[in-house]
A and B are shown apart, each in its own frame.
Chain A
Amino acid sequence: MKITDKLISAIDKKLERFDPLWQAEHGVGGQRDRYYDKTGVAKWREWRGVKDTFYDYTQWLYNLYSMVLMVGSAPVACLKGFWEYRWMGSYLGTFMFIDRLFEGFRGYELRTAHMNMHAIVQSLTKKIALVLANDKRLGGGPLSDNMVPMDEVLPPLFMTGFKDLIPIPLQTLPEFIICDIDQHIEPYYIDVAESFGLPADVCSRCSAETGVAIDDAFPIIGKAFLTTNMPCNASEATSMFQRRRLGLPDMPVTMAMIHNEPGAHPYSTQVLRDAIAFIEKEYGVKYDWDALFERAKHMNEQNTIELEKWDIFKTPHSALCGIAETLYRLYSWASVNGQEDYFTENDRKVIKIMRKAYEERYRPFKGKTRHRAFLWGPSAVYYTDFPTWIQNCWGINIVLNMDSTMGHNMIDTEDPEKAIEDLALFSEKGVMRHHAVGGWENVNALWEWAKNFDCDMVIFNDNVACKGMNGVHALMEEQARDLGFHFIFLEHDLEDARTVSRRDMRKIVNNYMTVVLNEEPLDPTLVDFDDSLAF
């Protein structure tokens, strides 16, 4: 052992009483003790030992650096953006958001988590600066007309064949990511939609998108708009408002809903061809298959790595866990979708760490995991750190999330005909859609996934406004009973924390763990607390 290691070890031993994990283990405190009541404001940063605390803090600085670069690259546009858009303010909560995502993370899992998170932060900050600098509402920019606003649920990989155009998932910046960061922002937009007459029982995410449209809070970019029928009914319906408010020529890219049947794919393939023709016409550009192939190679490599990650997830030795996996896969697949080299490079680095951890038979979270759970159904966007909480409080490791199973078929990189067919299949298996809609077999695939990933528990996200998932309620519960899984229906309202609060969600898990399984929490300070004022 090197002298520095000895020194660090001694300091760690000396200061271990400040570590919330140690405190919880010894009954003298825990994670929640660091916070001011009701808020997400910590009195001090989490002490994780010398190395991990130092690493965590440098990553905090690294993310801050990306934020500074964002403002520095387009200072006037960013200032105008803060002035114009209510949602911009929520990005100020980014650091608190990241801190709470990785509470209790140590060692390898902390490193992979930050690597993935920084990939998102550096990409997102660039995208915000790019969009604001070219937003016609704020004066426009040189790339305004080179941008193609698209529904964020439509995978943009096929658009990379237009090498001079920039596909922008329209709802991601003003609506989706902000809800990940801040539970209080979305209700404003939901109220806007409801004050216009929309009932409160529709999906809150789509209601929020409608509110953003009515509130004129979407950036104005591009010359034409690609909407989509994915993932579900309300999403289709909200696009009626968005197209009307944006006032751009639009084309709904309506992929097959019942997408697990052979007859669906030729149709979806033709719809993609129609979409390409539409963009060619509206933007006066020609599709370049070689440009597509170049990016498809990146997507293929990322998916190849993803499949290797899954093999490691099936073991207790994964260095990539919970929300660090879920959020990254969601962003890198749905938003980036092969367009940025950074994500391929990041995947290569992360898989190396995962391989090393596996070889060492490393156990994350200091081996405190008691249950391995598959998280099924669309998750509550306003409670992004739920997987972190459930690990820290009850030792339940969210091994994989339904949305991580999105399109992982390889795209042909030589034959355009084959490539577009692969892209159709790939796109049909999009976010919140692959297993949530399109037929019973898709949703019922849960049990195979849970079994393959060696899970003993299934947590079924029960979005109170999701008509499709509500429609399989009893059948899922009966299946769980028959197949012997611990099963928790986790009620939430997707983007409206007023209906089912984070605390309510925790209560559902707490009740199951204490009443059904008779277990004791790992960290009693996390069982019941009020974070209603937190970002």
Chain B
Amino acid sequence: MKDLKHLIYFENLLQDAHNELVSKAVEQGLHPLGYNCYYIPEVLLNLPGCFSSRLRAPRCNSTDVANYYMTTRNCPYVRAILERAIEGGYNYLEALFGAEGCAAMERMEEHFFLINPVKNEKFFTTIIDPPMKGDKTSLDYYKAQLKLKVLEPLRDRLGVDISDEAIRKAVEQSNEIYRIITEIGNFRKADNPVITGYEFHVIQLVSQVCPHSLIKPYLEETLEELRTRQPEPKFPFRARVALVGSEVDDPEFTKLIENCGAMVVADRYCFGSFPSREVIEIQEGESAFDAVCRHYLHWSQCARFMSGDKIEQRHKEVERLVKEFKADGVIYENMKFCEFWSYEKVLASHVFTNELNIPCCTIEKEYSLGAVGQLRTRFQAFIEALEIKNIQGGR
């Protein structure tokens, strides 16, 4: 396929959290607001005058200082983020909106106010206590937490308009991005797609780490380009897989799988498009804020949810993606030391393999892709198994 016009530009934007477009937005006087977890609705950080910046630590080579604070026995993602903060990589931020998504995440976010790594006089941190069920009691708590820890600080500390009208506008503008990304992502459903999993991963990531208003023209242009892009004469991969699990913010990981011969057709992981790019619908008589909370609580696929309906939803959602995107199997990953996804991975792989008849390969990964030989071997073996299954007619 012909190269996408903006792919290299997008790749460059992903080389640094404080990238070119972030700098531009800061110069324009927008408030840069950081977050880590899906529990913090991106849309609320894109209220008029603000932009969201989902925190990554690209090109992280060492977490030595973070290891001192959090030990080497903790999540490599949170250590990488803390290290990058200490290095000064997030000094552009005016706030970090954290979530007690897990103990490691909370501890890392606490360091943002305990050791003050972000050198920005406006900077502050809040941490919400997100719910673990999808019922009304949990929704009410979620709303109360977001109001107390996100909306009110935005209003009181940064003077941001948090009115219903402002939230509606943010929803509208965010939905425009979500529609573009969803349409781009849907190209992956084709038998011979005009986009690779790697390319989509890059596009999805730039939409999370760059100011929406500045990245949108590039995304629109890329969508137009894809509409007329010619696919390879023949599907160039040996299998199609859905990548499922915990945090993945390095497109090189997707590239690794694709280099082994399987196209990543669906991305259901933290930083992926499922969930994150579903259009937010405001029902009649509902406030925009209520709609946002309902939307996020419904779509969240976090392994932290404990109730039966949400556990079931996690598995059903993957089953839906496998069917819609015609995946031959699932690669289920979890970040090393992640308690939630370690458990969910074990349970889900049992459910997929034995109950839903979906082939599943489970792996554990580090944040920074270093020695990938073992992973490559695992992927190659899995892809070969999928291929053989296909040759044998699905048996």
Contact = CB atoms under 8 A, between A and B. Distances in A.
B360 to A, nearest CB: 11
B103 A233 contact: yes
Contact of A271 (B104, B137, B145): B137
Interface string B54-77: 000000000000001111011100
A237 B68 contact: no
B132 A229 contact: yes
Contacts of A206: 339
A240 B306 contact: yes
Nearest to A270: B137
Given A254-B133, A467-B102, A473-B70, A240 B343 contact: yes
A474 B132 contact: no
B339 A274 contact: no
B145 A263 contact: yes
Interface string A232-251: 11101111110110000011
A474 B133 contact: no
Judged by DSSP, the binding face of B is helix
A252 B342 contact: no
Interface string B343-359: 11111011000000000
A257 B129 contact: yes
Interface string A251-283: 110101110010110010011001000000000
A440 B110 contact: yes
Given A257-B129, A467-B75, A439 B110 contact: yes
Contacts of B216: none
B181 interface: no
A96 interface: no
Contacts of A464: 73
Contact of A474 (B68, B128, B307): B68
A471 B103 contact: yes
A236 B341 CA distance: 11
A217 interface: no
A468 interface: yes
Contacts of B375: none
Given A198-B346, A440-B114, A468 B106 contact: yes
Contacts of A475: 69, 111, 114-115
B326 interface: no
A488 B347 CA distance: 38
B45 interface: no
A381 to B, nearest CB: 18
Nearest to B103: A468
A490 B101 CA distance: 27
A465 B70 CA distance: 12
Contacts of A234: 339, 343
Contacts of A473: 68-71
A471 B69 CA distance: 7
B103 A437 contact: yes
Given A202-B339, A470-B70, A264 B344 contact: no
A210 interface: yes
A105 B135 CA distance: 52
A237 B342 contact: yes
Given A270-B137, A474-B68, A240 B104 contact: no
21 contacts: A198-B342, A198-B343, A201-B73, A232-B339, A239-B306, A240-B344, A244-B347, A252-B132, A256-B129, A257-B100, A261-B129, A267-B141, A466-B103, A467-B337, A467-B339, A468-B107, A470-B74, A471-B103, A471-B106, A473-B69, A474-B70
Interface of A: 196-199, 201-203, 206, 210, 227, 229, 232-234, 236-241, 243-244, 250-252, 254, 256-258, 261, 263-264, 267, 270-271, 274, 437-440, 464-468, 470-475
